[in-house]
Amino acid sequence: MPGRASAADHWLRVMSEERQSGRQGRPGFEGDAPAWHEPAAFVPPEPAPSRSVLIVEAEPPGGAHSRRSGWLESRRQRLRYWWRGASPNLRGSVFMFAALLVYAVMVAGIKHVGQGIPLVQILLIRQVIMTAILLLFAAGSLRQALHTDRLGLQVFRSVVTLLSMLCGFTAVVKIPLAQATAIGFSQVLFVTIAAVLFLKEVVDIRRWVATVIGFAGVLIMLRPSSEGLDIYAMLAVAGAICGAAITVSVRKLAASERTDTILLYQGIVLIVLLALPTFLWWQVPTPDQWFWLITLSLFGTAGQWLITRAYQVGEAAALAPLDFSRLLLASFTGFVFFAEIPELTTWLGAAVVVGATLYTIRKNARTTAPPAAV
């Protein structure tokens, strides 16, 4: 029996070993894990280098805005530096071109509204809005703004301003915009002569040549003939003469008067002179007409300030030829908004005018020495 027991025990051991080896040979079998498999210790994964860099160097909120603000501030500083080093005539040229752009909108508005509203009414509404804006800005120093040492010259300038607007804007309403603008360029010749006679400015030969060439371009566009010009064209010439008187008076006032003072006295005189005829010929504007009346008044206010500033800063004879660029604006406005197609002579004259204008800009672009660093 001991032999049988030992044989049975041997058989049981063999079967147990086979079962154990069978379980170990089947991976994933639910049961005992292999005796040699040790549980691995938990090691947190290392973050990817690229991601860690992005997280560390991410911009805080407003970073891009800060960079844009810094870029804009740098451009402003460079612009201020350039402006301080610019010559007076170049500064005046910048003011002049800005005035011409806003005046183009104003003139288009007057031509549009003038078909149904009396001109005196348009001018009165424009002047009331302009004066209200000036009073708003001068509210804290109104007494100082109204102080003037040259009341007679202020009134004279205001009267010729009214005459210039009545003559010039009547021509704008009644004849093609490009033609009225071209005739108005005769003001350049009158300004150059008046600058020599009344302002004692020295005009070199190059400016005389630029002015004469520009005026020749205007004559090409006008095509004068033996039949002469109609009454509205003559009103445009009269407006140009009055415009030259405005330029000379502003130049003389610039020595002692502020810009807001000049414009405030203009507003007072024009409102007084226009009140009665506007009352007699008043017509109730439509909503569309009110829109254009307010728009042209706002743009006219900005243009008036800019052109006054231009002639206070630069020489009248140097700035006057720049007015030729109004022709391009007038031709564009007349074509787009009023279906007025300029003739070939207009384009030929415009080429001459643009050449004279570009030369004048180059002449005015002589800057002074850069300001010393602070």
Mean pLDDT across the stretch 154-180?
Answer: 91
Res 73: pLDDT: 80
Could you read off the pLDDT of 170-196 as tens digits, one per residue?
A: 999 988 888 888 788 777 778 777 878
- Separation of alpha carbons 265 and 263, rounded Å: 6
Could you read off the pLDDT of 191-245 as tens digits, one per residue?
A: 777 878 887 777 778 878 887 888 888 777 766 665 655 688 789 889 988 998 9
Three-class DSSP category at 248: helix
Three-class DSSP category at 366: coil
Res 372: pLDDT: 41
- Separation of alpha carbons 240 and 237, rounded Å: 5
Residue-range domain boundaries for the chain: 101-364
Residue type, 263: L
pLDDT at 336 over 90: no
Residues 6+ apart with CB under 8 A from 128: 267, 271, 297
Residue located via tokens 């009454």: 231
Could you read off the pLDDT of 76-128 as tens digits, one per residue?
A: 888 888 888 888 888 888 898 899 889 888 999 999 999 899 999 999 999 99
Q: Which two tokens stand for residue 110?
A: 């007057």
Calculate the alpha carbon distances from 304 to 92, 153, 160, 264 in Å: 14, 18, 14, 11
Contact 303, 106 (CB under 8 A): yes
